[in-house]
Amino acid sequence: MLMIPAGRWIAKEPRDRGRRGGLVTEDSPSIRPPDPPDALSASSPGSAGLERAALALTSAALTFPTLGGGTMRALLVLLLAGTGLSSLVPEREKNPKYWREQAQQTLRRALELQSLNTNVAKNVIMFLGDGMGVSTVTAARILKGQLDNKPGEETLLEMDKFPFVALSKTYNTNAQVPDSAGTATAYLCGVKANEGTVGVSAAVTRSQCNTTQGNEVTSILRWAKDAGKSVGIVTTTRVNHATPSAAYAHSADRDWYSDNEMPPEAVAQGCKDIAYQLIHNIPNIEVIMGGGRKYMYPKNTSDVEYHDEEKARGTRLDGQFLIRAWKDYKPQDKNSHYVWNRTQLMDLKLDQVDFLLGLFEPVDMVYELNRNNLTDPSLTEMVEVAITILKKNPKGFFLLVEGGRIDHGHHEGKAKQALHETVEMDRAIERAGTLTSLDDTLTVVTADHSHVFTFGGYTPRGNSIFGLAPMVSDTDQKPFTSILYGNGPGYKIVAGERENVSTVDYAHSNYQAQSAVPLRQETHGGEDVAIFARGPMAHLLHGVHEQNYIPHVMAYAACIGENRKHCSSPASRNTAGALPLLAAILSPLLASLLF
């Protein structure tokens, strides 16, 4: 059966844009769907009836290409009348007053920003959406609204509400289109680096252990720890993956998860795997949560949860039990807890927890759409636990939160998984906001890189973000989904032709959206990504920046690292921040007196 988006549909004339562009018109080549529905079935009210009406009209256009444009318009009017819906435009949006009042409200909020927040950031939270390019943010915004039974486009993500927005240039020192390791080194350590390397400068060559010594660089997590703050890492990937590893490790290769993945010469030269460095480099990280259990155990050790699964077994060749080592490092007068499932996590009395290690999967955590609510915590739940523990420190905290599986969903061409991961990270951002204060907490949301992910096709308002475009291809006269990839595993040829998406379940969680170029995995994109900021000194993120600028702003706001000298006292900081604003106010007054 021919399927259309689980949203709304609108007929368009090709003249609207000066070209035909594959729109379903009287000239479109005939395609007969397997089971065209009866147009009369559209008589039921509501959006479901509209979907059936649109489907019937689409089928008619595809099956009877000789129908004139006037006839098609008449059919659409009749079908829409049968649904009781005469417009795709919400009633309030038809009134100019709605848009003017909305703009005035936004203007008032913007004017309030003239009073800049120059407080010292006691706390810093960094949310990193791995692979969360601008197109992903927009699509996730629409999805969030549609999950709330709205058209979606008018919805605001929590990150959309942040007052300061900038762009980040994501290239690595040796790569125009970057990877997650070199970018993590940039936004955590403050220096750009080569692709595939973490926590080292660009003097290090990937996979060359002997280039590492003397070229290590430290991260803002280390700067915060040295300043007496509590620190934490929360991720939906393995805790020794590219993003979190740049916070604590120095490795010539991001793939050295355990010594099992390292070449013998690297081990012989004294390089340590990333899991080992997590436990030993900064042993008193207060909170670590994510996946990656198997890298902590000797090779072939059965997993605590997946006893019989070979892929879940330990990988270490050195025989070390790193979780035991983690416990041994903790001060005797402090309470440290290791948990591996959600029940154990939720049963903790957080006011009695000083150190927490939570490893909930052998490798990466399960996609949010597939997550077992009994065994695996959500990102939002992990963030709440982390902040509750970290905020007990009167000196404040630094927390790195990664929505890491956004990236994995895109690489697999599974847009539905990627976008639901993004929406879940946005929930975590909202939860963090309720647990902290704008007065003393700087929150930065950004991405390491983008993906070759797009959506288009002149879809109408409220169209399901996972639905079909109201068009067919100029070349093969087949429909296509609004979401597409520039490359990836979604390139499928059936009987020598592009797969007809109307014959598959493109709304499935694991549906791989079609791609233009066949690849085993979809690739990153090279365009700039957004930076959203709120809280103390958020205004310093204001334009187009090199990615490595970000941790310098966070450190400046928190008076840590190399940016401590200007923070001898809160009063001096507040006065310094107020001077430019005072000058801006007084300058016009002075000018009027003089002239």
Q: How many CB atoms lie within 10 A of CB 99?
A: 11
Catalytic, 180? Answer yes
> In sequence order, what DSSP letters do the residues of 198-233 get, joined into one string?
BSB-TTSPTT-GGG-TT-B---HHHHHHHTT-EEEE
Cα 405 to Cα 184, 354, 379, 419, 490: the distances in Å are 15, 28, 11, 10, 18
Residues 262, 256 contacting (CB under 8 angstroms) = yes
Number of Cβ atoms within 10 Å of the Cβ of 34: 9
Secondary structure of the chain: what % helix, strand, coil (to 5)?
40, 15, 45
| 402 marked as part of a ligand binding site | yes
User: Which amino acid is it at 368?
Assistant: E
**Strand pairing class (450-451; 123-129):** unpaired
CB 293 within 8 A of CB 361: yes
Among candidates 308, 293, 307, 286, which has minimal Cα distance to 353? 286
List the catalytic residue out of 59, 135, 180, 201: 180
3-state secondary structure of 518: strand
243 is in an annotated binding site: yes
What does the alpha-carbon distance between residue 352 and residue 240 come to, in Å, rounded to a whole number?
27
Angle (deg, nearest 10), helices 549-558 and 180-189:
30
Asked whether the beta carbons of 549 and 183 are under 8 A apart, the reply is no
What are 546's two structure tokens? 């090199």
Is the distance from CB of 425 to CB of 136 less than 8 angstroms?
Answer: no
CA angle 131, 134, 138 (to 5 degrees): 110
Check whether 448 is labelled as a binding-site residue.
yes
Q: Please, what sign has the CA dihedral across residues 209, 215, 218, 219?
A: negative
Residues 15, 71: contact at Cβ < 8 Å? no
Instruction: Give the residue among 384, 398, 513, 393 at the shortest CA–CA distance from 456.
Output: 513
Please check if 449 is assigned to a binding site: yes
* Helices 134-147, 415-435: inter-axial angle, 10-degree rounding: 80
One-letter amino acid for residue 492 of the chain? K
Instruction: Identify the bridge partners of residue 447 per DSSP, sorted by sequence position.
Output: 129
Q: Which amino acid, 454?
A: T
H/E/C letters for each residue in 281-327? Answer: CCCCCCEEEEECHHHHCECCCCCCCCCCCHHHCCCECCCCCHHHHHH
241 assigned to a ligand binding site: yes
Six-digit token string for 33: 């769907």
What is the C-alpha separation between 537 and 574, in angstroms, rounded?
11
- Residue 407 in marked binding region: yes
The Cα–Cα gap between 518 and 473 comes to 18
Q: What angle do CA 411, 414, 419 make, to 5 degrees?
A: 100
Residue 370: Cβ within 10 Å count = 11
Name the binding residues for Zn(2+): 130, 407, 411, 448-449, 524
Name the binding residues for Mg(2+): 130, 241, 243, 402
Positions annotated as catalytic residues are: 180
Name the binding residues: 130, 241, 243, 402, 407, 411, 448-449, 524
